[in-house]
Amino acid sequence: MPPLSKSPTPQAPLGGSQAQVMIIGAGISGLAAARELNSQGIKNIV
């Protein structure tokens, strides 16, 4: 197995969202997750 390489730490895009969490999918589970995160004060985007 080849050695793991170090990749750069991801950076937020300039002028992008200030969300701390991105939720992929706006079905029942995604919306429930967004609601729970909001209730805990965690910014998110669906």
For residues 45 and 19, the answer to whether their CB atoms sit within 8 Å is: yes
| Domain assignment present for 31 | yes
The pLDDT assigned to 30 comes to 93
The pLDDT assigned to 19 comes to 75
pTM: 0.57
The pLDDT assigned to 27 comes to 92
Overall number of domains in the chain: 1
6's tokens: 């170090």
Cα gap 32→17, rounded to integer Å: 20
β-strands 44-45, 21-22 pairing: parallel
Residue 27 structural domain:
19-46
Cα gap 16→29, rounded to integer Å: 25
Exposure of 8 in the CB half-sphere (CA atoms within 13 A): 3
| Domain assignment present for 2 | no
> pLDDT tens-digit profile of 1-46?
666 667 677 665 666 667 789 999 889 999 999 999 999 999 999 9
The pLDDT assigned to 14 comes to 63
| Domain assignment present for 7 | no
